[in-house]
Structure 1
Amino acid sequence: MSSEISIKVENLSKCYQIYEQPRDRLKQFVMPPLQRAMGQAAKQYFREFWALKDVSFEVRKGETVGIIGRNGSGKSTLLQMICGTLQPTSGSVTTSGRIAALLELGSGFNPEFSGRENVYMNAGILGLSKSEIDARYDAILEFAEIGEFIEQPVKTYSSGMYVRLAFAVIANVDADILVIDEALAVGDIFFTQKCMRFLAEFKKRGTILFVTHDTNSVMSLCERAVWLQAGDRKAYSDSKTVCQSYLAEYYASSGSTQAVAETKVHAVRAVEDYRDVRQDFINASVIRNDLEVFRFSDTGEKFGLSKAHVVDVYLGSESGAPISWFVGGELVALVVKIHAEIELDQPIVGFLVKDKNGQHLFGDNTYLTYVDDAVSVSSGSDFAATFKFRMPMMPAGDYTIGVAIANGTQDNHVIHSWVHDAIAFKSHSTSVSTGLVGIPMIDIELQKNG
């Protein structure tokens, strides 16, 4: 295998024997040898199920590859054979470097052991000595953020705590290859984004195999993608091409429709305001984009010189009053309150909206508004930045808003505080069926020719 190749899969197949009844298993063990001894053709008492059939591909060092496909397509089976926890029926897998895997929930953990004991066992299996684990234990515990539960048996853990501890271990074992099988889907949004930031950093030095149903994540994180269908390798190419082909076939086979309650549609006209022409209709229907807002959290990850602190962040109505619910497509105010410990002669306050996978959706800052008339802030004073905008209609899911305070210019500034996940909000019902956000349609027309 070339030194530039991290994973090489050649003609990999996995067949399972499916028995209709328990006694058929005994028949298969006893009868064929007897039948052959009597000169008869051996009878087969099972049917074959090929979870993978003749799959081949290579992953280069430093590459991130996504694996997509419907449930039952063979994704998890493929990862287990790459990790060596499952033996293939035929074919081979060759890897170069230490592999750390996050497969099905709780794999690699003994439920009777405490979190601490499982850390030492799991990290030891991955090749670390006890002294190396001792040196990294505090970092693992800090990443997992499960506190005193580290001393409790993992059988008492929630699914989210399982994932926290398992990911914390693989993040601290100096792996060359990371294999992740959808396990992050059970974590809360703050931890999921923490993991996505780790993966973004790991991409710079290692190889990642990433199984997910989220094609947007594959297109944003991965250079290439493998599409599995019923055990076959349907495609292996750049991630955009593969994901587009996968979605095209998925929607074609499923009818690409989503049932919604019938609502009487009335004619609408273009409006002068920058507001979706269908907004009133959508707001009166079951697909109104209800967004639930959660309170500011000061416990998340942050960085900066800490000479100015973010003390509160909230979403408010047009008047700026805090709100806990609002509707996508309508005006909203994002308020960021800050305390300055030193004088800031050219403060810049900004925000960034991200989805659960850490993808940057949109954001802005105050720089261009005050580029010719900077507002200075004296030492020890409090100030606030307010951004008023129409919140795009958001697909269903979890989102966070990160905020930052800096001093200087757009190109040359000092960051005093960057809070990754200052507040979160959740999109419930929605009219958005594709894309990362739904932008307002000022007017929509159908014109007949002739």
Structure 2
Amino acid sequence: MEREVVIRANNLGKIYKLYKKPEDRIKEAFSVFGTKEYYKPHHALKNVSLEVLRGETIGIIGKNGSGKSTFLKMLANVLVPTNGTVEINGRVTSLLELGAGFNPEYTGIENIYLNGTIMGYSKEQMQDKLDTILNFADIGDYVHQAVKTYSSGMFARLAFSVMVNLDPDILIVDEALSVGDIFFQQKCNMYMKNEMKNTTKLLVTHDMNSIANLADRCIVLDKGRVVFEGPPLESIEYYVKSLHSESFGQPTADNDKISNLINKEDKRNLENWNSVDVDKLGGALEARIKRFLIDVNGESYKGFIQENDEVRVQFLLETDRDISDGIFGYIISDKFGNNIFGENSVTSGFSNQYLRNEHVVTMQFMWPEIKEGEYFLTLGIGEGEHELQHIIQCWAHNIFKFDCITPKKTIHCLFNNKILNLTISK
């Protein structure tokens, strides 16, 4: 049986007027002939079309300013499009901005009833839903306080609980859950995945693991246009590769050096080598990391990484003097700066290296089974004979971000540690 189309957006566009000075608005208003333009048009969205089927989950990703929030606001009927049409078939609830739809002077309870009234529910119907909403939000007695006193996390808890319990046909969420604690985020994701299978969902998030686990398909927006549409993992790959191509300069001065130091198979990837910002370097710096290249399973990084993937790191270094006992290493840290895992060449059993002028160093390691999230790579060069007592010549801090995803698997803590024995006595 063919599923029903519940959202149909056709050539949606939104143009904002950007004025250089506040008085230009007044001049435009009183302009008799209207021949002079006092503003510069900004195309926040350009001819975006999308059809969404009932029960589908669509992920929407893109850089800040790419038009994601503008698109969702038009689907939620919060913004009027400059051009194009939107057809919605069903009850829509949206969590677009922290604070939207809530009166800050009202208590949590009063806002629950307010939102129920807006959605067409009677007071008696909302009373039947009240316990379920409060149990899911789990903010205790704060529900009797004015919401203007809430933390952002408490507000997100209450807002999400209200929206999902109003039985929406279509749920629109725009990054609002990112302010909640990690346990509540997991709770919301599990609820959307398991309890809202028949609800159409549109999600804007920078959490690639949520996209990989929840979305049926994704669209990637850039400068107001749809630049890619497809399965979640392919969309993540497209998005991250486009970010990398913009974020890293590609100076050609080092290409000849790299070409002379790597094998023929790697020469075709010269344009993919990323430069290292000097602001990220620390240490004595008599040996410095200049460029690097990341491969995963023998291919360019696709925007995500999983357990048992093989990571290869190559980096170009240069020295100001001869170094007879070079040590190399790496550290993977989380977004809070905690070092999660890493190693150096000495403790891995490799001999110290003689360094002079330029070298390309290649290191390989396996990605372990760790919790989903963002992780950052730091590379290091040391000088000395001992793994702990040596000169730090160069640290290249947080030069690359890995997005670890764990589809169809739950990592309860930082990593899973298997139960070796289980006995039940009766």
User: Which band: TM-score by shorter chain?
Assistant: 0.5 to 0.7
Give SS of 2:30's match: helix
Q: 1:52–1:232: 8 Å Cα contact kept in structure 2? A: yes
Aligned ranges for residues 296-311 of structure 1 at < 5 Å?
none
Q: Give the Å deviation of 1:290.
A: 7.8
Match of 2:10 in 1: 10
Matched, 1:252 2:283: no
In structure 2, what is the Cα distance between the partners aligned to 1:106 and 1:26? 31
Letter in 1 for 2:27: K
Give SS of 1:119's match: helix
Q: 2:209–2:372: 8 Å Cα contact kept in structure 1? A: no
Residues 1:200 and 1:14: Cα distance change in structure 2 (over 3 Å): same
Q: Give the Å deviation of 1:377.
A: 2.6
Q: Give the Å deviation of 1:111.
A: 0.7
Letter in 1 for 2:55: G
Give SS of 1:185's match: helix
Residues 1:289 and 1:212: Cα distance change in structure 2 (over 3 Å): closer
In structure 2, what is the Cα distance between the partners aligned to 1:288 and 1:237? 30
Residues 1:277 and 1:205: Cα distance change in structure 2 (over 3 Å): closer
Residues 1:5 and 1:291: Cα distance change in structure 2 (over 3 Å): closer
Match of 1:29 in 2: 29
Letter in 2 for 1:133: M
Matched, 1:231 2:224: yes
Give SS of 2:98's match: coil
TM-score by length of 1: 0.60
Match of 1:84 in 2: 77
Residues 1:118 and 1:327: Cα distance change in structure 2 (over 3 Å): same
Q: 2:3–2:53: 8 Å Cα contact kept in structure 1? A: no
Aligned ranges for residues 368-379 of structure 1 at < 5 Å?
369=420, 375-378=423-426
Q: Which moved more, 1:173-182 or 1:202-211?
A: 202-211
In structure 2, what is the Cα distance between the partners aligned to 1:327 and 1:76? 34
Match of 1:389 in 2: none
Q: 2:332–2:342: 8 Å Cα contact kept in structure 1? A: no
Q: 2:10–2:85: 8 Å Cα contact kept in structure 1? A: yes
Letter in 2 for 1:160: G
5+ unaligned residues in a row in structure 1: which ranges? 37-41, 267-275, 293-324, 331-351, 379-450
Letter in 1 for 2:341: G
TM-score by length of 2: 0.64
Q: Give the Å deviation of 1:355.
A: 3.6
Q: Which moved more, 1:217-226 or 1:102-111?
A: 217-226
Q: 1:196–1:358: 8 Å Cα contact kept in structure 2? A: no
Matched, 1:65 2:58: yes
Match of 1:128 in 2: 121
Give SS of 2:171's match: strand
1:349-396 deviations in whole A, cap 9, x for unaligned? Answer: xxx975479863464654xx55xxx73435xxxxxxxxxxxxxxxxxx
Q: CA RMSD in A?
A: 3.0
In structure 2, what is the Cα distance between the partners aligned to 1:44 and 1:98? 40
In structure 2, what is the Cα distance between the partners aligned to 1:326 and 1:277? 19
Residues 1:70 and 1:235: Cα distance change in structure 2 (over 3 Å): same
In structure 2, what is the Cα distance between the partners aligned to 1:80 and 1:182? 13
The count of aligned residue pairs is: 299
Aligned ranges for residues 235-314 of structure 1 at < 5 Å?
235-255=228-248, 260-262=280-282, 282=329, 287=331, 289=333
Residues 1:215 and 1:53: Cα distance change in structure 2 (over 3 Å): same
Q: Give the Å deviation of 1:137.
A: 0.5
Letter in 2 for 1:227: V
Match of 1:111 in 2: 104
In structure 1, what is the Cα distance between the partners aligned to 2:127 and 2:8? 34
In structure 2, what is the Cα distance between the partners aligned to 1:203 and 1:223? 14
In structure 2, what is the Cα distance between the partners aligned to 1:289 and 1:11? 43
Give 1:166's match in structure 2, choosing from 135, 159, 169. 159
Q: Give the Å deviation of 1:207.
A: 0.9
Q: 1:64–1:203: 8 Å Cα contact kept in structure 2? A: no
Letter in 2 for 1:35: F
1:212-260 deviations in whole A, cap 9, x for unaligned? Answer: 1223321222111111111111122222222211111111111166754
Give 1:196's match in structure 2, choosing from 189, 195, 212. 189
1:256-294 deviations in whole A, cap 9, x for unaligned? Answer: 66754446889xxxxxxxxx999x965xx7x464899xx
In structure 2, what is the Cα distance between the partners aligned to 1:290 and 1:105? 26
Letter in 1 for 2:88: T
5+ unaligned residues in a row in structure 2: which ranges? 249-273, 289-310, 314-326, 344-368, 374-404
1:59-115 deviations in whole A, cap 9, x for unaligned? Answer: 111111100110001100111110011111110111111111111111111111111
Residues 1:202 and 1:75: Cα distance change in structure 2 (over 3 Å): farther
Letter in 1 for 2:25: R
Q: 1:10–1:57: 8 Å Cα contact kept in structure 2? A: yes
In structure 2, what is the Cα distance between the partners aligned to 1:6 and 1:277? 45
